[in-house]
């Protein structure tokens, strides 16, 4: 009886092996990395979730994080964001980058990495024109938060200087220029800096 069961088991194993080889599937003992699973996050708002303009009719593009990339959403902003005062523009745009995504934005996969406690500080007399001083050193922010700010500020002509956004912190370090490139939007950790902004005209 034992031998008959053993023979049946061997026959079943041979049949399974034949089926696998017949399907063209090769077995392997080496783990195969097929890459990350495709994202199902749309990163796009439905028409009903798009925010309406503010009473003043002002709106701005704000970069949020979605599927490990930076994607813009249109946000109504305060009148200060449309003024020519760099500090007022920087404060208004920072507030939008900090604001928690709406329910519709969350459904589309958006989030923000900009810390709520971050503030725009007063610029110094020897800062290059258009410099935005933050309450934290820019390099101390997470890569996503800094990239969000730089790309959001880069959408404003008031805050762009020689193609870059000039940011500084509360310390004695000189401000630096930052670029928002296509690579930055695709990989927020690959933020590009320009030479020391103190030497710019």
Residue with tokens 């670029």: 179
Q: For residues 116 and 128, is the Cβ–Cβ distance under 8 A?
A: no
Confidence band (pLDDT; 50, 70, 90) for 170? very high
| 44-94 residue pLDDT tens | 877 665 554 445 567 899 999 999 999 999 998 876 666 678 888 999 999
pLDDT at position 103? 93
Quote the pLDDT of residue 201.
44
* pLDDT mean over 154-175: 91
Is the separation of the CB atoms in 81 and 60 below 8 Å?
Answer: yes
Q: What is the SS3 assignment for 160?
A: strand
pLDDT at 36: 41
Task: Supply the mean pLDDT for the chain.
Answer: 78
Alpha-carbon distance 48 to 21, whole Å? 52
């Amino acid at each position: 009886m034992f031998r008959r069961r053993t023979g049946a088991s061997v026959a079943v194993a041979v049949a399974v092996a034949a089926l696998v080889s017949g399907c063209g599937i090769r077995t392997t003992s080496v783990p195969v990395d097929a890459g990350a699973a495709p994202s199902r996050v749309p990163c796009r708002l439905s028409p009903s979730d798009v925010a309406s303009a503010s009473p003043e009719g002002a709106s701005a593009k704000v970069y949020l994080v979605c599927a490990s990339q930076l994607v813009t959403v249109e946000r109504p902003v305060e009148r200060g964001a449309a003024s020519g005062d760099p500090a007022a523009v920087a404060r208004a745009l920072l507030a939008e980058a900090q604001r928690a995504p709406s329910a519709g934005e969350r459904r589309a996969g958006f989030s923000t990495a900009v810390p709520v406690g971050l503030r725009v500080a007063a610029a110094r007399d020897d800062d290059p024109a258009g410099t935005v001083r933050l309450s934290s050193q820019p390099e101390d922010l997470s890569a996503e938060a800094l990239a969000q700010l730089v790309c959001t500020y880069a959408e404003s002509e008031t805050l762009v200087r020689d193609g870059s956004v000039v940011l500084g912190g509360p310390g004695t370090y000189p401000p630096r220029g930052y670029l928002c490139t296509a690579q930055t939007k695709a990989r927020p950790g690959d933020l590009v800096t320009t030479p020391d902004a103190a030497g710019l005209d």
